[in-house]
Structure 1
């Protein structure tokens, strides 16, 4: 990430916006995946704490550890085990993490199908995480209006994911050439008391991109 921010001014001077766009999108999705792993683990902990002796709980813990250690081969084995014999709760967690791995393998259509299935069959935080990730994958093929509709239930300030949803809308505004709208979203992130350092840096970077296009 540090190299990304160090290079932005040079990229703007040389008008390498396409390259910058690709790297910025990657930075956002990496942040979304990291946040979702944390949130999923947090939400599942209470359930896991009441069922430590369950095989599903043990496998899920191993899955999180393998993802954190970038051991994706073992993670895929854990996911298959949970999808085959896990409880409904853990199967849902496994499905969304499996979709993330599919994105990493560039199997984007299969990943989209997985997120859509999760949205249809889940509720609460898992459904919202799947909505956010599906919206990210659909940015290039969807208009800003479509993206806003897709993420409408995540945009209230009370929602845990609303700043991530705002980042995705900023990207969509850039793609549609709606630079003033993109500036509005980026500024909202900067002004929020819940903005992390990473979000703040990304929003500032996008402001530079938007302003360079006006």
Structure 2
């Protein structure tokens, strides 16, 4: 008797499954197709992105080689092309390198390019700070200490990657402006920062020795 009930139950289950399949088969097939297409599309996207990154890397290396060969105009054009077309990470690097190439012929124009990178909130803070540093280095001989302070003071924060360089540039700019108090402030920050590189400490000590006695630490 139990075998008969088992056969009946099995038949009922088959009938229920058949009804469910008849009712939802199109939906199930569509869902499976979408899953397969989604997986295939994602893998295709990953492949294309990897291919683009590899192509951008090779193009970046070729542009860098042009720069090393002192073919700055060609390198500038190559980096400009990368800045316009390369994947995100390479675009920022290409913009920085393009500005460096421009600096070989026009430092003011290069400083403007660096300023544009520094003001671009779509990129990371380290890249923005590096652009600020590069622009300040180009303008050191021609701009005022207040301008340098406006440019670089945000980079001097304790959590900034380039704080050491920013402090040194500000100390030099203040010294050139005969502002011994400001120069001492930045030199003291260099001296009191345990992470200041030894070479930077040595330069800071040398500059400290040039300050008037009243301004010494």
Give TM-score, length-normalised by structure 1: 0.62
* RMSD (Å), alpha carbons: 3.0
Match of 1:101 in 2: 101
Q: Contact conserved, 2:191 with 2:201, CA < 8 A, in 1?
A: yes
Structure with larger RCO (C-alpha < 8 A, sep 6+):
1
> 2: CA distance between counterparts of 1:114 and 1:125?
16
> 2: CA distance between counterparts of 1:208 and 1:145?
23
Unaligned runs of 5+ in 2: 1-48
Distance 1:71 1:177, change over 3 A: same
Match of 2:190 in 1: 189
- Structure 1 or 2, whichever has the larger Rg, is 2
| SS of residue paired to 1:54 | helix
Give the aligned length.
162
- 1:79: how far off? 1.8
> 1: CA distance between counterparts of 2:97 and 2:213?
37
Q: Contact conserved, 2:126 with 2:160, CA < 8 A, in 1?
A: no
- 1:75: how far off? 4.5
Give TM-score, length-normalised by structure 2: 0.61
**1:28-75 superposed Cα distances (whole Å, 9 cap, x missing partner):** xxxxxxxxxxxxxxxxxxxxxx837531122234555776xx434275
Unaligned runs of 5+ in 1: 1-49
- 1:195: how far off? 1.7
Q: Contact conserved, 2:114 with 2:135, CA < 8 A, in 1?
A: yes
> 2: CA distance between counterparts of 1:99 and 1:208?
35
